Structure 1
Amino acid sequence: KALRKGSEVCEEMAAMLTVLRAVPYAASSSTGMLFVPPAQIGWHGGMQFSSSVFTPVLRRPVNGGAGKGAARKSLCVRAEVEGQAKVIGRRKVAGTRWLDLQQIDYEDESGVKRVWDAVSRPGLPDLCAVAILPILKRKSSPDQVMLISQFRPAVGKYCIEAPAGLLGEGEDLRETAARELLEETGLTVSRFVSDDAGDLLNDPGITPTKVKLLLCEVDLDHPDNKEAAEMGHEGVCGLAEEGEYIRRKIVPFAQFRDSLVGFEREGFAVDGKLMCFARGIAFGMEMAEKLNLSKS
């Protein structure tokens, strides 16, 4: 009798596992149905099953869903809506010389009026800054990348970044980039490689400000760059009257990503745009290597 009962339990468990394996972690936008992953299925008191019936039920949140770690309803269970969100108006709440705090009135896709907090740069367009990534070229050595570090009070750390700055009055992107590179590293642009990176949103959750990332080559063998090339990592650059104490960081282009990871381990913060760019380069190099290996 015990063996027969055990066999029945095993059959029920096998049926249950078969169904669980077939449950994908996805939602259907066309039907509005939610397919539940096994981790969200209530194992105790949340299932009804026998050899012929299996009904998984979502685990109910404890204490009505309040508190850390409480279960949340997935947005995927809602049917598609036809409306489009739109901004109704903006109003300044507070401001300083460099930043304005705004409250934005907007309607969501369902027509519900909501309020959002945001910051912006007063008197400047959304695309108000340019960053420049200089690739250092020299006949006698592999390519390198010139980065900078400077203290960022907002994060309380020294941050590894690309040279960058706000657009100057009457300047175009390349003029600003060349000026900032000279001020922050002492280097002179030899050639711009590309400026088609698109407008990069710094933090779209709180600000509309955007930056353009330009790539350039710097010929270290050129007389204009001789003095700066001899400095290496030594010396402090930037405009002292503006509180800029900028230190140069030169890394091998082939180890761009690994160098940034190393800076993080040393306690530096690393600019997100820079890390994404470096990871993209590393990924491209890895994929090219795999492609070459597959052809050989």
Structure 2
Amino acid sequence: MRLLRMKKIHEGSYLNNYELTYLNKGGREKVFELVSRSRLSCAGDIGRQVNGVTIVAFQDDRLLLLKEFRMSINKSIYNLCAGMIQDGESVEECARRELYEETGLSVSRFLDILPPSYSAVGFSDTSTYLVIVQTEGSFSDHTSENEEIKAGLYSREEIREMLKTEEFSSRSQTVAYFFANGFSLPGLHKEEL
């Protein structure tokens, strides 16, 4: 696969659309549509900018999940807390801010921060750090009028049942599955969950 050219189709407030023309392995041109949170000036920019954080949060023996209305699917699903890194903001600062804005909770301890990974490689170069934290505090709503989020802390048993009937984003479903089935994190002992 070889990229031949890139053309900007649309520049939006949050998302930008590009057409990428590739020479496929059969020697024919293929046009691929890319959605990016970044403003790309050349092919070398694709996938270079880390856009945000995805937060896996625990409090006591429970996992934080958000029931969140997502316009892209026109319904509410279970999701992880997440958000975009602002200019000059560190990964830790972004995680603290997003967790507070979406839930009212505070970070009591950072357990791990994984390198950036891509969120939707089928159509986007968006990437986020996976930030794993313990939280403290109680829920309060600090979201914008454009967000509809209900935060909850769920036990392993509750999540086992939810996985049978509820809809999840793919990352939150994966995290929920491993949590419900007893997976523990380095630096976090099972008795702490």
Question: Larger relative contact order (C-alpha < 8 A, sep ≥ 6)?
Answer: 2
Alignment-mate amino acid for residue 258 of structure 1:
R
Q: Is the 8 A contact 1:89 1:106 kept in 2?
A: yes
Distance in 2 (alpha carbons) for counterparts of 1:216 and 1:176? 13
Q: Cα RMSD between the aligned structures? A: 2.2
**In 2 relative to 1, CA 263–213 (structure 1 residues): closer, same or farther, beyond 3 Å?**
farther
- The question of 1:181 aligning with 2:104 is answered no
Alignment-mate amino acid for residue 77 of structure 2:
C
Structure 2 residue aligned with 1:109, among 6, 15, 25?
A: 25
Q: Is the 8 A contact 1:119 1:207 kept in 2?
A: yes
- The question of 1:248 aligning with 2:151 is answered yes
Residues 1-296 of structure 1: pairs in structure 2 closer than 5 A: 85-123=1-39, 126-137=49-60, 143-196=61-114, 198-218=115-135, 220=136, 225=137, 228=138, 237-240=141-144, 242-252=145-155, 254-255=156-157, 257-261=159-163, 264=166, 269-282=167-180, 285=183
C-alpha deviations, 1:182-202, integer Å up to 9, x for none? Answer: 111111101110112x43322
CA apart distance, 1:107: 1.6
CA apart distance, 1:239: 2.6
Alignment-mate amino acid for residue 126 of structure 2:
T
Q: Partner of 1:180: helix, strand, or coil?
A: helix
Q: Which has the higher strand share?
A: 2
Distance in 1 (alpha carbons) for counterparts of 2:67 and 2:28? 45
C-alpha deviations, 1:119-160, integer Å up to 9, x for none? Answer: 1114385420101111102xxxxx111221221111111121
Distance in 2 (alpha carbons) for counterparts of 1:262 and 1:247? 20
Query: How many residue pairs align between the two structures?
Result: 176
**In 2 relative to 1, CA 195–260 (structure 1 residues): closer, same or farther, beyond 3 Å?**
farther
Identity %: 25
**In 2 relative to 1, CA 86–259 (structure 1 residues): closer, same or farther, beyond 3 Å?**
farther
Q: Which has the higher helix share?
A: 1
Distance in 1 (alpha carbons) for counterparts of 2:101 and 2:53? 14
CA apart distance, 1:171: 0.9
Distance in 1 (alpha carbons) for counterparts of 2:158 and 2:124? 29
Q: Is the 8 A contact 1:251 1:259 kept in 2?
A: no
**In 2 relative to 1, CA 174–263 (structure 1 residues): closer, same or farther, beyond 3 Å?**
farther
5+ long unaligned stretches in structure 1: 1-84, 138-142, 286-296
**In 2 relative to 1, CA 107–283 (structure 1 residues): closer, same or farther, beyond 3 Å?**
farther
Q: Is the 8 A contact 2:160 2:177 kept in 1?
A: no
**In 2 relative to 1, CA 110–262 (structure 1 residues): closer, same or farther, beyond 3 Å?**
closer
Q: Which residue of 2 aligns with 1:61?
A: none
CA apart distance, 1:262: 5.0
Alignment-mate amino acid for residue 276 of structure 1:
T
Q: Partner of 1:189: helix, strand, or coil?
A: strand
